[in-house]
């Protein structure tokens, strides 16, 4: 795979692949990185980006600082970094030519970030609305259960124990493997909804704004596939 630092011209698809790999490498950071790309489609100064990132619900589980995660996106080609002068204007890169490190540092009074063309493509590709729709289309036999989990966690935050109680015995947990019926743990469905940006962990499982929007657009069915109504299991 071509590295973003190799200095080798890569195709647009290859650059998307590099950024995709950076986004998916660490599950705890996936949504924070995605939301940072979406946020910086409009150029923002570093302090504003860091403040917004700290407010992301998913950032509570992050193991790295905002600046480190921003740098991951820069290195992967998803964000462009701009150095700012005292007036807050971008400094022409040519202004650093021939300067020592200390002299260059004296020119810089701040930083700003903007999502690149590749970053914008990944924002569109991983739009939460598209991810939820794809999950439902990929697993139509579980769609009603996924909707019920979203509804359940939209009513109020839920513990995993509450979710487990509702899903135990559901046919939605059964999959075929080599001709055998294998029963999955309820956590598998929770994880898939989290990866699709439908659920988020904030000391309990909560439905995201995107998950609530999905419910509003698809407000027509209750739970099927043998699961119980979540409202009966509080």
Q: What's the pLDDT score for residue 178? A: 79
So where are the chain's domains?
Answer: 12-125, 128-232
User: What is the number of residues in the chain?
Assistant: 234
Cα–Cα dist 28/201, whole Å: 11
Measuring CA to CA, how many Å separate 164 from each of 5, 149, 189?
A: 46, 11, 10
Contact between 36 and 42 (Cβ < 8 Å): no
User: Does domain 12-125 sit in CATH 1.10.10?
Assistant: yes
Q: Which residue has the tokens 């407000």?
A: 219
186 contacts 171 by C-beta, under 8 angstroms: no
3-state secondary structure of 90: strand
Per-residue pLDDT, 151: 96
Q: What's residue 1's pLDDT? A: 32
pLDDT at 85: 93
Q: Do the beta carbons of residue 57 and residue 200 sit within 8 Å?
A: yes
Coil, strand, or helix at residue 48? helix
Residue ranges, the chain, pLDDT below 70: 1-9, 220-234
- Mark out the alpha helices in the chain (DSSP H runs): 12-24, 30-39, 46-55, 66-75, 101-107, 117-125, 128-138, 143-155, 160-167, 186-195, 209-217
pTM for the structure as a whole? 0.78
> In this predicted structure, what is the pLDDT of residue 218?
80
Nearest to 75 by CA among 12, 121, 33, 127: 33
């Amino acid at each position: 795979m071509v590295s973003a630092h190799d200095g080798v011209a890569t195709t647009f698809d290859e650059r998307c692949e590099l950024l995709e790999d950076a986004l998916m490498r660490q599950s705890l950071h996936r949504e924070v990185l995605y939301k940072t790309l979406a946020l910086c489609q409009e150029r923002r100064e570093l302090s504003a980006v860091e403040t917004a990132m700290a407010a992301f619900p998913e950032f509570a589980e992050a193991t790295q600082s905002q600046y480190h995660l921003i740098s991951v996106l820069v290195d992967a080609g998803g964000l462009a970094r701009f150095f700012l002068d005292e007036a807050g204007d971008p400094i022409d890169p040519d202004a650093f030519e021939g300067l020592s490190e200390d002299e260059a540092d004296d020119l810089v009074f701040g930083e700003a970030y903007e999502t690149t063309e590749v970053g914008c493509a990944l924002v569109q590709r991983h739009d939460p609305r598209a991810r939820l729709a794809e999950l439902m289309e990929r697993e139509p036999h579980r769609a009603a259960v996924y909707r019920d989990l979203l509804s359940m966690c939209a009513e109020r935050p839920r513990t995993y124990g509450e979710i487990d109680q509702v899903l135990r015995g559901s046919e939605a947990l059964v999959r075929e493997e080599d001709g055998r019926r294998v029963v999955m743990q309820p956590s598998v469905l929770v994880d898939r909804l989290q990866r699709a940006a439908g659920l988020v962990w904030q000391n309990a499982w909560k439905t995201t704004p995107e998950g609530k929007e999905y419910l509003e657009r698809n407000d027509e069915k209750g739970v099927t596939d043998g699961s119980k109504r979540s409202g009966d299991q509080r």
